[in-house]
Chain A
Amino acid sequence: MSFSKSMKKLAAGVVASSAIAYSGAVMAADTIKVGVLHSLSGTMAISESTLKDTVLMMIEEQNKKGGVMGKKLEPVVVDPASNWPLFAEKTRELITKEDVDVIFGCWTSVSRKSVLPVVEELNGLLFYPVQYEGEESSKNVFYTGAAPNQQAIPAVDYLINDLGVKRFVLAGTDYVYPRTTNKILEAYLKSKGVAEKDIMINYTPFGHSDWQSIVSDIKAFGSQGKKTAVVSTINGDANVPFYKELGNQGVSAEDIPVVAFSVGEEELSGIDTAPLVGHLAAWNYFQSVYNDTNEAFIDQWHSFTGDDKRVTNDPMEATYIGFNMWVKAVEKAKSTDTDKVADAMIGIQTPNLTGGMAVMNENHHLSKPVLIGEIQDDGQFAVVWETDGLVKGDAWSDFLPGSKDLISDWTAPIKCGNYNTKTKSCGGAAAK
């Protein structure tokens, strides 16, 4: 009796689940599924939840315009919870179970590295919207954030040429992005004739909050008569106490400017910026850039979030560009097939938010302008310098011995992410 009851239950369960699977299949035919892989809990939620909202906003707008190829877009949001192995699991779930056609996601380099083998194995498509250390190019990934030559190198050029800086403090959080970026910068500075003793390198743990000694060291390093600047790859939360300590110890931007690569409008919205006025940041976009496309984007963001105090930032612009490029590429390829879309992506142009056009290159990196902004007392940046034209993203740095002969080119005949121009072969020294 009880056995047959449980059998009945089981059978009912099977029917119900197959019905769900069936309805899922029907849905899939009518819509194009877009995976959103950003942490909504844990330490990275502070930065990544904004990008989730951005993707949802873009999808909503695209659907209002009638979707893509006549099909509505359907977002599939998952929460990898700032847990790097979970990023890989969630990617597998998105591609195999949910059958998404494209994924927008990741923030930290660790999460991208953990997702990379999965998207390559399952031939998925990932758009990565954050500035990163370079030294990578995958057939399945499009990098819409800045490579080091689109952020770090121009910023250092500005310090040397416009501010006459002679001594450099390279301060960073202890993980892969700052370490690689600082290695590139150190090599670059030495090639510019900066002596070893004029470069101070300092690493701190994640979430470091006691900056007293380091700021005092920077002060001492900076009072040696030569103009000194800090190049900061300090990540996330640790910036707030760092800037507070700078302010309290009386280090003003006129004496020792700090140029940061991870501090944007979003990070500043957590601090009183009056003591920070004049410190710098290098990005490819600032909210304060004045043009119609950007104003429209900001208005759209405010009405989407229902909060007209919410700021926009560079990774949001990268998401915006990546999304629009993907839509264009799908329409050009007339398919959502990964290989066809990836081929169609190269050469695609869409407007960026700084008044120009973003171009996707054969190495899966963008060409974008580089802007330097000074922090203002309202938490915004005022642009004080920008590159004349677009800078093409370089997947493999020219300043590292292991990668200077490597290029990435995903067009025929090379079709390779790490092609060695000396040995004329794919899979060079720094291959993964």
Chain B
Amino acid sequence: MGYSFSRMLAAIVLAIMASLSWADEVLQDTTASPQTIEAMADADVEEDIAGAPPSIQDILNQLASRSFDDKEAAIRQLAEQDSPRVVPLLNALMNRDLVHNREDDTISLGSKQDGQWLLLDPVSETEIGTVDSRAARPVVINNRLRTVINNQLALFALNSDDSEQRVQAAAQLIGNDDPDMLSALRLRRESEDNSRVIEQIDTALNIAALGSDELTARLNAIDTLSSNLHPEVKNRLNERLRLTESDAEKTALTKALRRIDSRIENFQTADTIFFGLSLGSVLLLAAIGLAITFGVMGVINMAHGELIMLGAYTTYVVQQLLPNSHEWSLLVAVPAAFLVSAFVGILIERFVIRFLYGRPLETLLATFGVSLILQQAVRVIFSPLNRTVITPDWMSGALQINPVFSLTYNRLYIIFFALAVFLGLLTLLKKTRLGLQVRAVSQNRTTARALGIRSERVNALTFGLGSGIAGIAGVALAQLTNVGPNLGQSYIIDSFMVVVFGGVGNLWGTLTAAFGLGIANKLLEPMAGAVLAKILVLIFIILFIQRKPRGLFPQRGRAAED
């Protein structure tokens, strides 16, 4: 009995083991099958090897070709592979991390290290070795290939866990008529729960439905698209309007297009006003320091532009000193630029302007000389070439409100910044002791001195304040334009224009003039072109000054008399 039981047990164990090993074999079979086929193909050279699925490395090696058609074929083939390496490799190609090794004509992942290429296997990411910097080159792609890669990546990203990625992926696929892409979108639509993603997918699907054979499907699509601002929608509706023969569709199309056009028009007006405000804020920043030195003190300072330039260069230097913190280096640059420009301003006041009070022509010539000295000094120290000021991430890009209306972040921040500087300065002049003294000296120097104000010291501090503010303006302008020796020259005329137009000695006048001229310029620009718009604004100011020589808001009382 015991014996037979143990035999039975042994038999069962055997049976289980056998079944397990069989299962194992099956598993091995499925995993090994491609290799087997490949091995067979390799073994039998006579047979057509095109039937065999090529390895990812083989596909990548086609990217060594010089023809962009070959490369596109390789990219499409790569995207069809069922491998977790597809997305990273497409991204690598996009970021120029795939390099062509000229020595053995293969493609691998590469990164520059100490002037050499460190090559990694594209599939396993194991190190292959290093080659000389000239022995390998990144794979060149062009715009067409970039679009192909982006579309392929969007297909993968459509099923990403991150909803932001899905929105972008769906937006990328709008206007695409490829049936594979459309079915992928439909599939995603069924399981999608994020409303923004759904909106993008619906736009894409409705645009595709405009090409449908059925009239009702087309009418439905037109109806849902009739308030959609995506530029592709307008184009497709227009295209449809040319092709259609049905009257019902024609009316629906015209109605939808009219709605879209009127909405676009509204947003374009908003756009122009934003551009005007932005130009106005730049003018305000450039002019506000001058409103102090010229407006309050009456000094014609031709070196004002160069003080702005010094602020811009300070931004550059601060970024060089803090190489790892571009995101917040601007916060350091603002006070630093204020100090640098204020210091230079005080030097100019002490050594040049002090001796020339009451002699405007000599002041003009002397400060013009100072401006040339500062320019050439910068050329000698920093070279005549422009310097790169890095834009922090939070200042690049745009706040996309809808497809036709967006506010660029750098401009938006600069509008707020200009207003903040303006309010700060206003408070300083109105609420502090220094402000009181500045106003007293500028209104009547003799009386102020009689009252015990040290007018020399106040002059130096006021000039320093105006110059320091010019330096702050330089930090903001460094984000918009070139940081080079000529930066100041391009703003000096504008600054004087704003201060004179607004009324010398009046900060509110400067504010109104800056935004008024900014908006006027931008309203004229689409009609007259950039060159003519500027000329028209200048002619207007000349005529205006002849009528009202003291500007928009003339100072009244005794101060205005001298």
Q: Identify the A interface with B (CB < 8 A).
A: 40-41, 43, 45-46, 49, 163, 174, 202-205, 207-210, 212-214, 216-217, 220, 223-225, 237, 240-241, 244-245, 247-250, 253-254, 257, 266, 269-272, 275, 277-278, 290, 295, 374, 376-377, 382-384
Contact = CB atoms under 8 A, between A and B. Distances in A.
A41 B379 contact: yes
18 contacts: A203-B530, A205-B531, A207-B486, A209-B481, A212-B279, A213-B275, A216-B275, A224-B235, A237-B386, A237-B484, A241-B482, A248-B410, A253-B146, A254-B143, A272-B390, A278-B146, A295-B134, A377-B95
Contacts of B525: 213-214
Contacts of A248: 396-398, 408-411
Interface string B315-344: 000000000000000000000000000000
Nearest to B390: A272
A216 B271 contact: yes
Interface string B8-48: 00000000000000000000000000000000000000000
Given A213-B272, A374-B143, A241 B96 contact: no
Nearest to B234: A223
Contacts of B235: 223-225
Contacts of A253: 143, 146
A40 B522 CA distance: 36
Interface string B513-536: 000000000100110011100100
B269 interface: no
Contact of B398 (A204, A214, A225, A249): A249
B65 interface: no
A272 B388 contact: yes
B278 interface: yes
A376 B142 CA distance: 10
Contacts of B531: 174, 203-205
B385 A254 contact: no
Interface in B222-238: 231, 234-236, 238
Contacts of A382: 138, 140, 142
Contact of A212 (B278, B390, B534): B278
Given A46-B484, A210-B279, A225-B238, A269 B398 contact: no
A212 B481 contact: no
B444 to A, nearest CB: 40
* A-B interface, 7 closest residue pairs, ranked by CB to CB distance from nearest: A225-B235, A223-B231, A270-B386, A45-B384, A248-B408, A209-B481, A212-B275
Contacts of B530: 202-205, 208, 213-214
Query: In this complex, which of A46, A203, A249, A269 has the most chain B Cβ atoms within 10 angstroms of its Cβ?
Result: A46
Contacts of A247: 396
A55 B424 CA distance: 52
B480 A384 contact: no
Given A272-B391, A383-B140, A237 B486 contact: yes
Contacts of A240: 386, 481-482
B68 interface: yes
B406 interface: yes
A275 B396 contact: yes
Given A248-B398, A278-B142, A278-B146, A207 B238 contact: no
A46 B391 CA distance: 22
Given A224-B235, A376-B96, A257 B143 contact: yes
Given A41-B376, A205-B534, A278-B146, A213 B522 contact: yes
B529 A203 contact: yes
Given A203-B531, A270-B387, A377 B481 contact: no
B150 interface: yes
Contacts of A384: 68, 140, 142
B275 A249 contact: no
B489 to A, nearest CB: 8
B103 to A, nearest CB: 14
Contacts of A241: 480-482
A212 B388 contact: no
Contacts of A224: 235
Contacts of B183: none
Interface in B59-76: 68
Contact of A163 (B143, B481, B482): B143
Query: In this complex, which of A208, A210, A376, A382 has the most chain B Cβ atoms within 10 angstroms of its Cβ?
Result: A210
Contact of A271 (B95, B239, B282, B388): B388
A266 B390 CA distance: 17
A257 B142 CA distance: 11
A45 B143 contact: no
B218 interface: no
Contacts of A208: 530
A241 B142 CA distance: 24
A261 to B, nearest CB: 18
B96 A249 contact: no
A213 B528 CA distance: 12
A392 to B, nearest CB: 25
A270 B384 contact: no
Contacts of B254: none
Interface in B115-162: 134, 137-138, 140, 142-144, 146-147, 150
Contacts of A254: 143, 146-147, 150
A68 B558 CA distance: 76
A46 B406 CA distance: 34
A217 B486 contact: no
B285 to A, nearest CB: 13
Contacts of A377: 95-96
Given A225-B238, A225-B239, A237-B386, A217 B482 contact: no
Contact of A217 (B376, B409, B526): B526
B386 A250 contact: no
Contacts of B279: 210, 212
Nearest to A225: B235
A266 B383 CA distance: 13
B397 A250 contact: yes
B216 interface: no
B490 interface: yes
A306 to B, nearest CB: 13
Nearest to A45: B384
Nearest to B385: A46
Nearest to B376: A41
A236 to B, nearest CB: 9
Given A41-B379, A224-B235, 8 more contacts: A207-B486, A208-B530, A212-B408, A213-B275, A240-B482, A253-B143, A376-B138, A383-B140
A153 B519 CA distance: 38
A383 B134 CA distance: 16
B499 to A, nearest CB: 19
B553 to A, nearest CB: 25
A209 B490 contact: yes
Given A204-B531, A254-B150, A270 B406 contact: no
B385 A269 contact: yes
A45 B278 contact: no
A216 B379 CA distance: 34
Query: In this complex, which of B282, B387, B398, B481 has the most chain A Cβ atoms within 10 angstroms of its Cβ?
Result: B481
Interface string B480-516: 1110111000100000000000000000000000000
B516 to A, nearest CB: 16
Contacts of B278: 210, 212
B135 to A, nearest CB: 11
Given A212-B411, A213-B272, A254-B143, A41 B384 contact: yes
